[in-house]
Structure 1
Amino acid sequence: MLAVALLLWPLRLVRPSIIAPRLDRQFAALEDSAGLLLQPGDTLNLLEHLQQQRVAQRLHTLRENGRLTLPVSWRTSLVVTALLGLAGVAVWWWPATQKSELVAGVPVRFSPAAVAAPGKVPARIVETQVRVTPPAYTHQPVFAPAQASFQGPEGARVRWQVRVSGSRRAVPEVEIGRQRLRMQAVAGQAGLFSAEYTLRNSVLYRLRFAGTVSDDYAIEVRADQAPIIRIQTPKPYTLVEFGVRPELPVRATLRDDYGLSRAELVITVAQGQGEAVKFREVRRDLSAAVGGQPAQANLLSQLNLPQLGLTYGDELYFYVSARDNAGHSSRTDAYLVQWQDTAVADSPSDMGMGVKVAPAYFRSQRQIIIDTEKLIAEKPRLDAATVASRANNLGFDQQSLRLRYGKFMGEEVGGSIGPGAPRSPIAEDEEDGHDETAAEHAAEGGDHHDHDHPTPPATSAIASLTAETDALMDPYIHKHDDSETADFLEPAVKAKLRAVLDQMWAAELRLRTGQLAEARPYEDRALKLLKEVQQQTRAYVKKAGFVPPPMPEATLRLTGELAGAAAPQRQQTLPAPALQPAVRAALRWLATTSATAKTNPADARVLEQAGTALAGAALQRPGVYLPALRALRELVADVRAGRPACAECRPPVERALTDLLAVPAPAPVAAPAPTRLAQHYFQELSR
């Protein structure tokens, strides 16, 4: 109203002398003569009097046509005023409506109150109200649970408000676990008390006032969970191949129980190779997708590899992190994106060079044997040319393998392998072509062994002045020009490896000539000798440490002796849980106390100790143990008063306490005694 008064205050300055010029400017039909209407008629001459009548007539016409109105739109103002009035009424009634909804009482069951004196009102809680205010970040409204046991979010404020009658000195209390909250009186309202508590963990509570105690009620706290992130695309490992557009969309789904506040994409770029790898981190803020703090959001971001500075052969790692309104954060696993490295094109000068860069591949001796057996099996179905070609290829593979092992003997070429080379005794005995060659030489010249051979010339080392020194150094010199001494193999290994090469030569000769069946024994002997050489050239290093003594297997095997053969057993005596004696004592009291006999108030302590164990179980499973806990409270109240224990409360308490007992160890069960018929049956069997 003050603002309206300030806006209307300038209207006090409005005068006819101010309105007349405005009308002359607004309406040309008045011919700038509206001021004549303000002049008295006796002061005007004839011409002014005629003009005054003319202007008055035109002004009347404008008024009838509705054009002569104030330059203010009252319709908009009236509509806005009406809406504001309705909003004011709603705001005026809203707190009262909300209060009426939140102060709805919840049913709370109390133990029987003490008998009041005649003429006095018993002290008791007549009404209980509960109000739960969730944290602001949850965006949940304040609510009033319909039951005394309820659920609430972590960090919520619970307000109990009770109305009492009777005693004015006693103050109600809220017992939460082992903590007692003393209620405060509400100012201006007699008999009204309130208390507040912040939820952190699930608890049990009850109300106390003037000796009366309510049943136990559970408050289940829902903990705030961290955000859940799921990356839909790409896959955990993505290879961007050559020719594919180097762009990848990153799509992720975020969920939270109350709301998301921040999202981020963290990218780590790895560039270079070997020890020259450089890492660089790039962070992208994706909080725009969670601007309204939704409980679920979809994120989309594009990975453009060239814009991130990547080239062929580089890679990047990325993950998505999110944070909720409570400050809890989570992140995904690292995802890898690799840009395929393209092969470097050779220059024209390199294209003409016949350099073989591919590694040399050799068939093993075992593979040659397998291929030979396969060719022997397929020989009846093949023509002679194909058999000869495949056999010659096998001979070439055998030659390559022989030359490969010949390098260990110091041979640079394969010329020393053959009939002219020194043969080992194994090859001379097994090669049947050797005797034929010797017979041919004997036939061509019978005196081949009778003539004298010239004495070979003396070497330069013997003829020199340092012959004795050379003879002493000869065993310790590694001679590359001599195949027999051009390696460091032991003499036994060297002799066996020479036999391997001889067998390979014999197998190669027969494979190249198409004698497949005759080549098989030489191939097998070459493989056998080769395995023996491999075993002899291995070096075994004995490990340092404990060496167990050898087992006397010869004296223990098949003897039936089981001493020390039992499985190891570990026994440990554990003390019973601390609450088990209290539970057993309560069950013993329930079993020995009659339901109709008077009780001893001192026995209430036994039941209270068992109630501690039952309260812990009710906190974990309130739906199962909470009714039993209430029944136990009634039993405690009856025992304290010396009354007979409640008969209806015994069965649920006994079942609950029995469930809390530890599982007994299994005990062996004695077999039942055999009947006379069974004894007679066994006697007949033993005959």
Structure 2
Amino acid sequence: MSPSVISAAAEPGLLRRVARSYASRRTVQLLLPFLAASGAALIAAKRWPQAGTALLVLLGLGVIALVVWLVRLWQFRPQPLARRLDREFAELEDSTGLLLRPTSDLNLLEELQQQHVVERLDALTAATPALLPAPWRTSLLLTGLLLVVAGVCWFLPAQTAQPTATVATAPAVPLRFVGKPAPAKAPRIQELKLLVTPPAYTRRAAFAAAQPSFQAPAGSRVRWRVRVSRRASAPVLELGKQRIPLRAVPGDSLAFEAEQIVNSSALYRMRFAGQTSEDYAIEIIPDRAPTLQLVSPKPYTLVEFGQKPQVGVRVTVRDDYGLSRARVVATVAKGEGEAVKFTEVATDLSAQLRGQPTQHQLTYTLQLRQLGLTYGDEVYFYVQAWDNHQQMARTDTYLVQWEDTTVDASGADISLGVNVVPAYFRSQRQVIIDTEKLLSERKELDQSTLASRANEIGHDQKVLRMRYGKFMGEEFDESIGQADAIPEGEKEEHHEGDGHDHGHAHGTPATDANPSSLETTAALMDPYMHKHDDAETADFLEPAVKAKLSVVLSQMWEAELRLRTVRPAEALPYEYKALRLLKEVQQQTRVYVKKAGYTPPPMPEATVRLTGELVGAATPQRRADVAAPASQPAVRAALALLGRLRRGQSAAAADAALLDRAGPVLAQAALQRPGAYLTALRDLRQLSAAMRASQPAPCPECLPVVERALTALLPTPAPAPTPASAPNRLSRRYLQALGQP
């Protein structure tokens, strides 16, 4: 077979491979945003069922358009493909169309050019498998945007489909009017219908109220529709302090309606053609935040050695209308002392709340190793939850600690004795107390115990002496507190082992007439040396204080000597003298600094002292007797009027204003407790209307009901002292008999 025949057979397959590669890449680019859009549409249809039909229709149209586009894309159209290859690659020399013609129709020059194009196209395909460019940037950006939209739809609160019931199909509720009944031909309200639509996040269906007073979730949309007997002025809805005129219903000349979103409890009534209805209550049910109860673990959990480094968490979550989100927040504490580092890790648990249940038990496992904990580290965690109205609640903070196995927990130190009695702060006064206590118990102690306790007190005296000796520049035990002279009464008591130098008693001369070269060197260096143990140069105390402190050290030395030699009674005078001198040193070293401030002028004592004159000496006082304001004056005035009416007295039409002023106070109480005060409020309005029209009370039994309700609004009076009852005749005689001798 000739080369021309081979190239002619390979040409259609070569172009088909290029077309198939381009079509596959374009298919992926189209499917990615389409799948993201389909997911967003399905999530939105599930969250908002009322828009589900439209979204599904759009999704079906999108599928049809995608199928048509893919069919056209995968159709092999060689001529447009050849023209595009010529535009994209100059190496083909605008000759790609020759590949579509059979070789028998080509002349020699065209046949050579066809073979040249086949070779160039083979080389381009080998170098770049994706020969025709297909931009990915637009497809990826559109896919990311649609995924974000899908995520937003997933986390937004769901909304149930609205019911088909309307206010037109709601049953009529009874409506009563106060005052004189309207004439038969006068316009009046024939019926009232109420439709309550709870907020979308509650996922509650709209309902028709069966009574004029009803309950509704907070944020509900309430629609009032009234039908009148004949056309007149528009009815007016009085909702709390608002006056809302009802608007006419299109297509029905005798129907009027009003719509209002109610967020708090309120009273309402209707006014039409001079008639006023009774007050009715709307009790709002507030949306409470979620409640969380941590079932496990305990507030403090220790993961001991050998246990798995994980802790299970179980939390029971409840809400009124549904839960939307939850997460667990863990704070990891690593390190010891000042090198502690804290890291916060939040884990989303919203996937467990699909369908937005009103009650669910969340489960989670704290993996200590994944959180970065090691032995001795701690993790603090709490759980948060959000409801459909984005109200948040959280649990208390719980602690999990991983036991540190490097700590020496041997029981050897458990058996060691622990001195729980605090050690005395040894002072000169405490040394005296211990010495006097030893003397009082001396007869009950044996000689060894007495010597041991005396030696311990002597040791305390030594420690105290060394402490005060540092103030004198004495740093060594041998030079602290040595007395310059020994009292005459103590010379005969020196003996060997008493701590004094008795070298001359053993034949050693007291002085050396020929000093050694070492002493000569020391004498030469003496002016140039800093002597820490020189009491004259080691401190900055005044000479008088230094001399007195030196005597204190001498007295302590003598007291220690007698305590060491088991003579506590002889040591006591030296201890007292040392204490007295120490107090004098403390007083002598104190510094008085006068405070800067106001210096009053000197008092003229010669003229005012002991004269008994008190004019102007008393502190001026401003005093005024102000009567306490009466609480609830409107209620008290209304109660006084009701008392007169109950006793059969007549009242003028102007007295109705007293009842009207007490009406707002009673209405405010009816908002809080409709069952206790709403009936009394209606009776009060009837009494006021009858009194204003100079008519008798329409219901005599209303008077005690209104009176009890107004009396309950008054504050509890303060208890007043009651006078004791006078003794009777028998008691007086008994008291007289007791007083007789």
Q: Check conservation: 1:599, 1:643, Cα contact below 8 A.
A: no
Distance 1:548 1:362, change over 3 A: farther
Match of 1:261 in 2: 324
Match of 1:650 in 2: 703
Aligned counterparts of 2:354 and 2:617: Cα–Cα separation in 1: 72
- Aligned with 1:135 (options 175, 199, 221): 199
Cα shift readout 1:593-639 (whole Å, capped 9, x = no counterpart) = 68878865554444322212222232233333322211111012212
In the alignment, structure 1 residue 641 sits paired with structure 2 residue 688? no
Q: Check conservation: 1:206, 1:217, Cα contact below 8 A.
A: yes
Cα shift readout 1:189-232 (whole Å, capped 9, x = no counterpart) = 67554433222111111223333322212222222222334556
Q: SS in structure 1 opposite 2:224?
A: strand
Distance 1:307 1:653, change over 3 A: same
Aligned counterparts of 2:584 and 2:307: Cα–Cα separation in 1: 54
Q: Check conservation: 2:666, 2:681, Cα contact below 8 A.
A: yes
Matches for 1:41-440 after TM superposition, within 5 Å:
103-112=170-179, 114-116=181-183, 120=185, 123-164=187-228, 166-185=229-248, 191-231=254-294, 247-271=310-334, 278-311=341-374, 316-332=379-395, 334=397, 364-365=426-427, 384-417=447-480, 420-422=482-484, 433=490
Distance 1:95 1:501, change over 3 A: closer
Distance 1:302 1:95, change over 3 A: closer
Distance 1:395 1:336, change over 3 A: farther
Q: SS in structure 1 opposite 2:664?
A: helix
Cα shift readout 1:81-124 (whole Å, capped 9, x = no counterpart) = xxxxxxxxxxxxx989x78998455444322554425xx4x544
Q: SS in structure 1 opposite 2:678?
A: helix
Match of 2:561 in 1: 509
Cα shift readout 1:553-575 (whole Å, capped 9, x = no counterpart) = xx99xx9x9x9999x99989698
Q: Which residue identity is paired with 2:217?
A: P
Q: Which residue identity is paired with 1:133?
A: T
Q: Which residue identity is paired with 2:483?
A: A
Q: Which residue identity is paired with 1:116?
A: P
Distance 1:130 1:672, change over 3 A: same
Distance 1:497 1:627, change over 3 A: farther
Q: Check conservation: 2:167, 2:195, Cα contact below 8 A.
A: no
TM-score by length of 1: 0.61
Q: Which residue identity is paired with 1:422?
A: D
Q: Which residue identity is paired with 1:320?
A: V
Structure 1 gap ranges (5+) = 1-93, 346-360, 446-452, 465-469
Q: SS in structure 2 opposite 1:486?
A: coil
Q: Which residue identity is paired with 1:214?
A: S
Q: CA deviation at 1:413?
A: 0.7
Matches for 1:428-507 after TM superposition, within 5 Å:
433=490, 480-507=532-559
Cα shift readout 1:32-81 (whole Å, capped 9, x = no counterpart) = xxxxxxxxxxxxxxxxxxxxxxxxxxxxxxxxxxxxxxxxxxxxxxxxxx
Paired residue total: 529
Aligned counterparts of 1:665 and 1:603: Cα–Cα separation in 2: 30
Q: SS in structure 1 opposite 2:692?
A: helix
Q: Which residue identity is paired with 2:684?
A: L
Q: Which residue identity is paired with 2:464?
A: L
Cα-Cα RMSD: 5.5
Q: SS in structure 2 opposite 1:213?
A: strand
Q: Which residue identity is paired with 2:665?
A: A
Q: CA deviation at 1:312?
A: 6.0
Match of 1:31 in 2: none
Aligned counterparts of 1:116 and 1:104: Cα–Cα separation in 2: 26
Distance 1:144 1:488, change over 3 A: farther
Q: SS in structure 1 opposite 2:177?
A: coil
Cα shift readout 1:509-563 (whole Å, capped 9, x = no counterpart) = 233333345445555555565566556656677766679999xxxx99xx9x9x9
Aligned counterparts of 1:538 and 1:99: Cα–Cα separation in 2: 94
Aligned counterparts of 2:361 and 2:300: Cα–Cα separation in 1: 21
Q: Check conservation: 2:476, 2:533, Cα contact below 8 A.
A: no
Aligned counterparts of 1:242 and 1:512: Cα–Cα separation in 2: 56
Q: Check conservation: 2:167, 2:208, Cα contact below 8 A.
A: no
Q: CA deviation at 1:128?
A: 3.6
Distance 1:204 1:298, change over 3 A: same
Q: Check conservation: 2:218, 2:263, Cα contact below 8 A.
A: yes
Structure 2 gap ranges (5+) = 1-161, 409-422, 505-511, 603-607
Aligned counterparts of 1:135 and 1:328: Cα–Cα separation in 2: 15
Aligned counterparts of 1:549 and 1:315: Cα–Cα separation in 2: 67
Q: Check conservation: 2:646, 2:703, Cα contact below 8 A.
A: no
Q: CA deviation at 1:176?
A: 0.8
Distance 1:108 1:501, change over 3 A: farther
Distance 1:401 1:543, change over 3 A: same
Distance 1:615 1:408, change over 3 A: same
Aligned counterparts of 2:627 and 2:321: Cα–Cα separation in 1: 45
Distance 1:263 1:580, change over 3 A: same
Q: Give the share of equivalent positions with the same residue, in percent.
A: 56
Aligned counterparts of 1:539 and 1:318: Cα–Cα separation in 2: 57
Distance 1:480 1:95, change over 3 A: closer
Distance 1:320 1:95, change over 3 A: closer
Q: CA deviation at 1:310?
A: 4.1
Q: CA deviation at 1:401?
A: 3.3
Aligned counterparts of 1:256 and 1:564: Cα–Cα separation in 2: 70
Q: Check conservation: 1:113, 1:211, Cα contact below 8 A.
A: no
Q: CA deviation at 1:129?
A: 3.8
- Aligned with 2:671 (options 598, 604, 619): 619
Q: Check conservation: 1:598, 1:644, Cα contact below 8 A.
A: no
Aligned counterparts of 1:198 and 1:273: Cα–Cα separation in 2: 57
Q: CA deviation at 1:305?
A: 4.3
Q: CA deviation at 1:412?
A: 1.0
Aligned counterparts of 1:280 and 1:542: Cα–Cα separation in 2: 55
Matches for 1:14-29 after TM superposition, within 5 Å:
none
Q: SS in structure 1 opposite 2:178?
A: coil
Aligned counterparts of 1:299 and 1:518: Cα–Cα separation in 2: 81
Aligned counterparts of 1:247 and 1:367: Cα–Cα separation in 2: 57
Q: Check conservation: 1:362, 1:397, Cα contact below 8 A.
A: no
Q: CA deviation at 1:407?
A: 1.8
Match of 1:80 in 2: none
Match of 2:682 in 1: 630
Q: CA deviation at 1:404?
A: 2.8
Q: SS in structure 1 opposite 2:535?
A: coil
